[in-house]
A = this chain, B = another copy of it.
Amino acid sequence: MKKSLLAVALLGACAGFAQAQSNVQIYGTIDAGFVKRTDQTLAIGKRAANTLGFKGSEELGNGLKAIFQLEMRYEPDTGTQETGSNGAQRPLFQGQSRVGLQGDFGMVRIGRGLTPMQETIMAFEPWHGLPTPAGFYTDLSVAGYTSDPLSLAGNSGNRWSNAVWYNTPSFSGFQFNSAVGTKESNNGPAIVGRGTTTLPQYAANAQATSNPFSLNGTYTNGPLGAMLAYERNAVETKMYVVGASFLVMPELKLMGTYTHQDRDHTFALNSEVKAWVVGANYTMGAGKLLAGYGRKTPDGQPVTKQLSLGYEYSLSKRTYIYLDAARKEGAIGTTAASSTINHYDVGVSHSF
């Protein structure tokens, strides 16, 4: 008693010193290079998401573990927190902030993180889910879908705040993953949808009309991998994903996804978007060739086509240099007119 009282006052500067030091692990990625886009000046930019994270686990006995992970995102070219495509600063722990329990039953987590659909699709994308425009992950792999339409504009397209995750263990190669979000509002922009500018279907800072959820199953058997996923976001847009990958030989992996987005809840016309991506990774010693092609077909809109080639050369297990070239044709950005963009990047990526 005596000690605990004094601790309050005197040990303000030392709160926590008494507890045993836990095993917080610091990790991250720093990836920077030169980026050239058809219509823009040569820039310093990134190919991968840049992270600085803190994570740990604690054994609770009986195979149960407490786990947590906090992951910052930043822009190495300017030193800022990660910014969205609209220039808005994203949350400090944009990557994720989750705490949970892991055991024989699987894993339960609560907080903010990638949706299961978005996380799983990375394994079937030839640029392994990197956000570079040379990859397909942020657009064609998901048929232009966003998982988070009701958060602050620019926040993130593939994450949920205010959600709970459950992942099963693996059963004979099968695994199931799920997440469900609350209906909480999160400072989102107004969405006109089937409403009007003055009376939008979703007002600014609106709550979800039903709980968003995301489900998927994966199956692995020797050289074969496969996934099925279904997700419904806060404005009731639905996503269907099927994906597969196959190790033809140890050096060559082929993969593909087919995606169908149904925006019927908010679009009176042209509510369906379909997309497919095929790709290959070919390993040659320390080098790896990446190749991919994809098409996105929105109802009543021009088709988007993308062809990409890339090369990664490993200097170590944690450091590699890369080179990408990609061509994308279609309704880029918000304009309906079709245009063609070439993208090139070369740089270095280091994990720590």
Binding site for B on A (CB under 8 A): 1-2, 4-6, 8-10, 12-17, 19-22, 24-28, 30-33, 41-44, 52-58, 60-61, 64, 66-70, 72, 74-81, 87, 91-102, 106-107, 109-114, 116, 119-120, 122-123, 161-165, 167, 169-170, 173, 175, 177, 182-184, 186-187, 207, 216, 218, 220-225, 245, 247, 315-319, 347-348, 350-352
Contacts and interface: CB of A to CB of B under 8 A. Distances in A.
A41 to B, nearest CB: 5
A70 B52 contact: yes
A338 to B, nearest CB: 27
Contacts of A76: 97-99, 110-112
Of A27, A53, A120, A216, chain B has the most CB atoms within 10 Å of the CB of A27
Contact of A77 (B100, B111, B245): B111
A312 B12 CA distance: 24
B102 A55 contact: no
30 contacts: A2-B221, A9-B218, A10-B167, A12-B114, A13-B55, A13-B68, A13-B69, A14-B55, A14-B69, A15-B69, A16-B55, A21-B27, A22-B351, A24-B26, A24-B28, A30-B97, A32-B98, A32-B110, A32-B111, A41-B183, A44-B164, A66-B315, A66-B318, A76-B110, A76-B111, A76-B112, A78-B186, A79-B91, A80-B92, A110-B348
Nearest to A186: B78
A245 B4 CA distance: 12
Copies in the complex: 3
A5 B92 contact: no
A128 to B, nearest CB: 10
Given A225-B1, A352-B68, A44 B98 contact: no
A41 B207 contact: yes
Interface of A is mostly: strand
A258 B38 CA distance: 44
Nearest to A225: B5
A257 B14 CA distance: 25
A13 B163 contact: no
Contacts of A53: 16
A33 B164 CA distance: 9
A162 B33 CA distance: 9
A56 B351 CA distance: 10
A350 B58 contact: yes
A53 to B, nearest CB: 7
Nearest to A317: B19
A6 B220 contact: yes
Contact of A162 (B4, B43, B72, B183): B43
A1 B220 contact: yes
Nearest to A10: B167
Contact of A78 (B24, B91, B101): B91
A313 to B, nearest CB: 12
Given A9-B175, A9-B216, A42 B183 contact: yes
